[in-house]
Structure 1
Amino acid sequence: MSENRTDSERETGVVLGFLEEAEPWQLASAQFPSKVGGRPAWLSQLNLPSAAELECEKCQHPTVFLLQVYAPIAGQERSFHRTLYVFCCKTPACYTANDNRCFKVFRSQLPRKNDFYPYDPPPDEEPAAGADDERVLGSGVKLCRLCGCAGHKACSRCHKVTYCCKEHQAIDWKQQHKRECSSETSSASGAVNLLLFPEWELVTEPEELPVNDDMPPDSNSLAQVNIASSDLEESELESMALHESKDSEAFQKFKERIAAEPHQVLRYCREGSQLWVSSEHVPNKEDIPKCSCGTNRIFEFQIMPQLLNHLKVDSPDASIDWGTLAIYTCAASCDQGKNYSAEFIWKQDFSKDQAV
């Protein structure tokens, strides 16, 4: 896309993510995909996050795979292959304002020469039929038939399928496994899986803006603040007006920035700046915990609210929701071997009366 850039456009250093349909083989681990929904395409095939590590901290139910971003670091051999994974709870009641406890983030990275993948890039063609089994990784690690995470609990009757927890085993029993348990064969992926989010490929292109986007927003385009209350002192009115003006400005900036590419679902810019939807609940440096190695974490990418339109999560009552999700990762991308390293997510919701 950058090759077609005109003199009236500039690249911002931000890479935008968009959703496209793809063939299942294109989203397999061997293709090093960036993707949304379905089952995770694990990079390291050992030491997957445990069921306990994937639990929602609010309801203690297992979280479900939301998306992954393939993000190698140029010049860093230990991060030649590098993928970031985001999981979220599917219980709407867990989504309270600015509360990140229903999300989990993990990082996996491998050098170019590793135990799981060829040294050379994968061919851009469909592999031979029957090459993969969704129930087990090439390393021999068994996967949950329902969600695709590490599955250590086998069906006690047929021993053909495994699950990450009793909850997922019970769901799959009702959806399909009850009908097939005593049969000679068992489907690898099962029937229509209502637990998982719809699956998409996450494709990227650089953000390009008109050169005059460096100009500050026209103050006349910002929402005007109207506060009237005889019960408030003048100083309180001034404080509230200033706060609402700043919040309106932040939201206006958000809307203007995404206007050129309204279908973006992700913004990637390692060590860059976040695009907040509100002036409220913006983290300070001390709000972002250090990595377990002791290194500071830095901003890497954010998930946009537009993604919610593709997840089929709307409901008449409460539903899964966010304004934006900012992911922070170890600045050194420290070497954890074949393990999955927990990273940090910051959830910011829209202020009252805001809408994209």
Structure 2
Amino acid sequence: MSNKLGNDTDSDVSELDPKELSQALSFDKYAPQLGYAEDPETPLTAETFPSKSGGKPAWLNPETILAAEQVTCENCEQPMSLLLQLYTPEDQPAEAFHRAVYVFCCKKGGCVKQDWTRSFKVFRSQLPRENPYYPPPNESDDEEEEEEEFTPKSFKAPVQCVICGLGGAKACGKCGKTAYCSREHQMADWNMCRHKEFCNKHISEQDQEVIDKLRAARIFTEKEIVSEPEGKGEDLEEEESQAEFFKENNPDEPSSDSKALVLAGDEAEEDTKVDVDDVFLQFQLRIQLYPDQVIRYDRVEYDMPTREPLWVQQNYKPASIPACELCNGPRTFEFQILSTLLNYLGVNHIAADSLDWGSLFVYTCKQNCTLGKEVFAEEVLWKQDFSADGMQLGPKEAAMLRRKNAAKQ
């Protein structure tokens, strides 16, 4: 299955012109943030509060990190890798001034296909504005105003696995210096990342670069996630701009603001039922506008109405989302990870058991409840795959859905 949604030829959605797309879709004032994967220009360290996919976690709380047993695939019993972390600060409550959500995934596609509920983990972490690790931001408009002197807390940094960045509870039995989260990563480093060759020996800068690349290849490729609000796409914005220009310069010319679709041929026939997954086509129409997006961030905040994810199929939606285990309050949808991210992770798409999904939906505590002495709160993820019906959409089915959408407007 192709993960490049914008180039999908099975549904003929890519052949729709901008006007048809504009008529088929409507946008509300609560536009989601769209995330894109890019090569980082600078190191994505914790103090930069990064949003990123892959690589080692940039722990928000540098004093306490997750251990392998907390992030173990329950199918193969091996440590999972960081799939994504998003820096998502919020104004309320005060404890969530700094906030990060971490998503972990087993790299083995076979495990995800076997039982995906045992191969993903999501954790929320947060810190107040006044915390012992990061200076409070200077919120004054006076650029010359000196920031208050800040001295970060002195603590013994937790030992991290040289492969994945989880807690390194194990060490090389020979040198005792190189830390690992598990026997699996210790063996991988010894046999495939040249530690056997260089254990207890001086390592040149050039050799260290090679070793770092070999270790990085054991986890997902690191990319920075940058975001912008969803709009109507460059083509539609250009069309609207041209229409406005024409109207201003030709005030006597009649203009047509009708949203009705004019159908021709077989498409004009009355059709009361479309035997395809309408939800999938809606998904394709929306993604078409920005085909490179990998994240859709759409969290409910304050007085916003409840938000619905952009589902990829009508069936296999969660009947209910479990309440937060810490406060017993509701969890709400926060963001979804699109299959386009698979193109950036450095995974093998050809293998029969390659990692794959239609979309991953992350739900978190609506109130950002206090973590108390805990540094991490486990949250919930739901996975949808593309339906067979959806992938078989043709031009007539697409036209029928556009017609139904236009009738509602």
User: Do they fold alike, i.e. is TM over 0.5?
Assistant: yes
Instruction: Quickly say closer, same or farther: Cα 1:217–1:353, change in 2 above 3 A.
Output: farther
Partner of 1:325: 360
- Pairing 1:128-143 to 2, within 5 Å after superposition: 139-143=156-160
Relative to the length of structure 1, the TM-score reads 0.79
Given that 2:281 and 2:390 are in contact with CA atoms closer than 8 Å, whether structure 1 keeps it comes out as: no
Structure 2: how far apart are the matches of 1:143 and 1:217?
59
Mapped pair 1:262 → 2:291: yes
Cα shift at 1:185: 5.4
Equivalent positions of 1:158-169 (< 5 A) are 158-169=175-186
Indicate conservation of the 8 Å contact 2:46/2:59, yes or no: yes
Alignment counterpart, residue 273 of structure 1, candidates 273, 287, 308:
308
Contact 1:325–1:345 under 8 Å retained in 2:
yes
Letter in 2 for 1:60: E
Q: Do structure 1's residue 180 and structure 2's residue 198 form an aligned pair?
A: yes
Q: Could you tell me whether the CA contact under 8 Å between 1:48 and 1:150 is conserved in 2? A: yes
Q: Is the CA contact 2:32–2:229 (under 8 Å) kept in the aligned structure 1?
A: yes
2:48 and 2:296 mapped to 1: Cα distance?
Answer: 22
Moved more, 191-200 or 170-179: 191-200
Alpha-carbon distance in structure 2 between the residues aligned to 1:138 and 1:16:
37
Match of 1:13 in 2: 31
Q: Does 1:57 align with 2:93?
A: no
* 2:141 aligned residue: none
Q: Which residue among 130, 133, 137 is the counterpart of 1:113?
A: 130
Question: Distance between the aligned counterparts of 2:29 and 2:231, measured in 1?
Answer: 5
What is the CA distance between 1:219 and its match in structure 2?
11
Distance in 2 separating the partners of 1:90 and 1:323: 16
Give the structure 1 partner of residue 350 of structure 2.
315
| 2:345 partner letter | L
Mapping for residues 183-194 of structure 1, pairs under 5 Å? 183-184=201-202, 187=208, 190-193=212-215, 194=217
| Structure 1 pair 172–24 and aligned structure 2 pair: CA distance change class (3 A) | farther
2:90 — aligned with what?
73
* Alignment-derived partner of residue 350 in structure 1: 386
Aligned CA distance change for structure 1 residues 179 and 71 (closer, same or farther; 3 Å):
same
Structure 2 Cα separation of the partners of residues 250 and 219 of structure 1 = 23
Letter in 1 for 2:287: I
Q: Is the 8 A contact 2:54 2:83 kept in 1?
A: yes
How far 1:75 sits from its partner (Å)? 3.6
Per-residue deviation, 1:116: 1.5
Larger Rg: 2
Q: Distance in 2 between matches of 1:90 and 1:216?
A: 46
Whether 1:149 aligns to 2:166 is yes
Instruction: Indicate the residue corresponding to 1:39 in structure 2.
Output: 56
- Which secondary structure does the structure 2 equivalent of 1:55 belong to? coil
CA distance in 1, matches of 2:108, 2:86: 24
Instruction: Give the C-alpha shift of residue 154 in structure 1.
Output: 1.4
Shift of 1:309: 1.4
State the one-letter code of the partner of 1:113.
Answer: E
Which structure features the higher share of strand residues? 1
When residues 42 and 333 of structure 1 are mapped into structure 2, their CA distance, relative to the original with a 3 A threshold, is same
What is residue 206 of structure 1 aligned with on the other side? 229
SS class of match (2:63): coil
Is the contact made by 1:98 and 1:347 (CA closer than 8 Å) also made in structure 2? no
Output the amino acid matched with 1:19: A
Q: Note closer, same or farther for the CA distance 1:62–1:44 as it changes in structure 2 (3 Å cut).
A: same
When residues 269 and 9 of structure 1 are mapped into structure 2, their CA distance, relative to the original with a 3 A threshold, is closer
- The structure 2 residue matched to 1:91, chosen from 105, 108, 119, is 108
The count of corresponding residues between Structure 1 and Structure 2 is 310
CA contact (8 A) 2:108 2:353 kept: no
One-letter amino acid matched to 1:67 = L
Aligned mates of 2:132, 2:89 — CA distance in 1: 17
Maintained 8 Å contact 1:10/1:208 = no
CA distance in 2, matches of 1:270, 1:160: 43
Residue in 2 that maps onto 1:232: none
Q: CA RMSD in A?
A: 3.1
| Percent of residue pairs bearing the same amino acid type | 40
Q: Deviations over 1:287-314 (max 9, x none)?
A: x111112111110000001111122321
Residue in structure 1 matching 2:324, options 291, 294, 298? 291
Unpaired stretches in structure 2, ≥5 consecutive residues: 1-25, 139-153, 240-257, 301-306, 394-409
CA distance in structure 2 between the partners assigned to 1:139 and 1:32 by the alignment:
21
Alignment check: 8 A CA contact 2:93 2:368 kept: no
Q: Say which SS state the counterpart of residue 52 (structure 1) adopts.
A: helix
Residue number in structure 1 paired with 2:45: 28
Please report how far the alpha carbon of residue 204 of structure 1 lies from its aligned counterpart in structure 2 after TM superposition: 0.4
Alpha-carbon shift at residue 74 of structure 1 (Å)? 1.9
